Amino acid sequence: MRAILILVAGSILASCANAPPPPYMERSPSGQRAYETLLAGKVPQRPVNCLPSYNANEQSTIDGRTLAFRVGSRTTYIMHLSEGCEMLGSGTYALLSRQIGGPGMCRGDIEQVVDTMNHVNVGSCTITDIVPYTKP
C-alpha cells in the first residue's frame, strides 16, 4: 500500500514539473515600424487560402510569427504563423516550405525553420492566415 502511495505522489510531482510554453514575445519596435511601413495606405481584404508561388518572391520577416510578401507597389500579403517559428525573426534562420508543386503556400501548410549555417531544423509551424492589403 505504501509503495502505491509513493508512486502516486511521484507521478503527481512529475506532472507539475512540465514548464508552460514560453509566452509569445511582442513585435520589436523595428519590426513594428517595418509592418506599418509595408501597410501604409493599404486596406485589408478578405483572407485568401493560398499565396501563389509566383507572388512569394519579395518576402520580409516582420517577426517570428508574421511574414510579408510584396507584389508590386499596390499589394502586400501578410502571412500569420502559429507557434513554433519564433526563431525565424533572428539570426541566420530561414523558412523552408516542403511542398513541391501545388498552388503555393496555403493556410494549414506546415513550414519549417532551418538554421542555414548548421543545416538543422530549429522549429516548425502552420500557416494560420494570409491577408492581402491593397491600395484603394
The mean per-residue pLDDT over the stretch 42-65 comes to 86
| Percentage of the chain exceeding pLDDT 70 | 72
Q: Would residue 70 count as lying in a domain?
A: yes
Find the domain containing 95 and state its range: 42-136
Residue 4 located in a structural domain: no
Split at pLDDT 50, 70, 90, the class of 100 is low
Number of domains in the chain: 1
Q: Taking 60 as the threshold, does the pLDDT of residue 74 lie above it?
A: yes
* pLDDT(54) > 60: yes
Is residue 23, in this structure, part of any structural domain at all?
A: no
pLDDT band at 10 (very low <50, low <70, confident <90, very high): very low
Q: Look at the pTM and tell me if it is higher than 0.85.
A: no
Residue 127 has pLDDT above 80, yes or no: yes
What lies within 8 Å, CB to CB, of 9 at 6+ separation is none
Cα of 104 vs its chain's centroid, Å: 16
pLDDT band at 101 (very low <50, low <70, confident <90, very high): low
Could you tell me if residue 94 is inside a domain? yes
Q: Which residues contact 71 (CB under 8 A, 6 or more apart)?
A: 55, 58, 77
Residue 105 resides in a domain = yes
Asked if residue 57 is part of any domain, the answer here is yes
- pLDDT score recorded for residue 72: 84
Neighbour count for residue 81 (Cβ, 10 Å)? 23
pLDDT at 116: 83
User: Does some domain include residue 69?
Assistant: yes
36 domain residue, yes or no: no
For strands 105-106 and 93-97, give the pairing.
unpaired
Give residues with Cβ within 8 angstroms of 80, minimum separation 6.
Answer: 65, 66, 127, 128, 129, 130, 131
